[in-house]
Amino acid sequence: MRLGLALPQYDYSVRGESPITLPVVAEYARTAEAAGYDSLWLSDHLFLDLAKYGGSDERHGALEPIATLGALAQVVPRVRLGTLVLCEALRPPSVLAKALATLDCVTGGRLDIGLGAGWYEPEYEAIGMAMPPPGARLRRLREATELVCALLEGGKVTHQGEFFATDEACVDPTPIQQPRPPVFLGGKGDKLLATVAAVSDGWNTCWAWTPDDYRERVEVLERACADVGRDPSTVTRSLGLYALVGEDEADLAARFDRLRERSPKGVLDTSLDEWRVGRLVGTVEQVREQATRWAGLGVEELILGAGAVPFHVGAMEDVTALAEVLKG
């Protein structure tokens, strides 16, 4: 099973490092690559508050993912680099395809593209766009995905759809990966999974899942694939999980206490026993057993969140410890 890491990216991501800077992110990227991770990931928000996670509604700044991944490609030569996930509403599909083709060239053909329908209304408001209802957002995502994929595959693309239009648009230079970099969609709803089956190479969902809940979503995906005549084994599957490992229960408890101390206020007001449910959390043996179970459910890549909220990292030591257990 491949192993990925959600890198720090926001002003809340690393205690004492606000605003977040590229050198800090690069240090985590270098350490993760040396530890054996297979991929590194950034998300896509203009800014983000933590009210959804029990924190404050203060807006935290963020590094833009496409530019940041291009910079990181120069300091980590081996790992794949990906977006988890890009909000399609923030960039026109033709402009996005151009940026992604360039990024694949800059990374030497190591790009994985994750796209999403968007959910964070404040950033829609910030760009003067009313956030469409869920159904319209998913239709936009499907159309944008088809258009981005067509552009990345080369040639001139003329398109007239519900949301987008192009007139002999093209991407030049084309990506290194042929026919194009892999494109997956992020989410968990029935309509999202139907869109995955119809137009996407893969599927990701994050950040807290029990095996039973995940298995039910896989069954929905399999039915969606059957509806369009697709073999579900052709849909690559990655799963994002918060993760923490200790040598034994005492060490795990100490690491959890440290994580809580280094987390944004309000986001980790719970016990270890409550928090570990739906997360890749436990002793060395427990975490390995959990990873094996996820592999048995068809997960091909685990993307770890080594913190309490998305793209937050409690300690560099936790990043390396997880790799030692799962890749050692």
Q: Give the pLDDT confidence of 204-263 residue by residue, as tens digits.
A: 999 999 999 999 999 999 999 999 999 999 999 999 999 999 999 999 999 999 999 999
232 in Cβ contact with 225 (< 8 Å): yes
**What does the pLDDT read at residue 328?**
81
Residues of the chain below pLDDT 50: none
Global pTM reads 0.98
Q: Which of 27, 33, 45, 317 is catalytic?
A: 45
pLDDT at 280: 99
pLDDT digits (tens, 9 = 90+) for 139-172: 999 999 999 999 999 999 999 999 999 999 999 9
pLDDT at 260: 98
Q: Which residues share a beta bridge with 304?
A: 5, 241
Domain limits for position 231: 2-327
Taken in order 219, 221, 223, 226, the sign of the CA dihedral is negative
- For residue 108, give the CATH number of its domain: 3.20.20.30
What pLDDT score does 274 carry? 98
* Length of the chain (residues): 328
The pair of three-digit structure tokens given for residue 269, joined into one six-digit string: 């007001």
Q: Which of 17, 33, 88, 121 is catalytic?
A: 121
pLDDT of residue 202: 99
Place of tokens 């089956």: 197
Q: Yes or no: say if 142 and 200 are a contact pair by the CB < 8 Å rule.
A: no
Tell me if residue 45 is catalytic: yes
Give the per-residue pLDDT at 99: 99
| Alpha-carbon gap, residue 76 to 102, rounded angstroms | 17
Please count the structural domains in the chain: 1
121 catalytic? Reply is yes
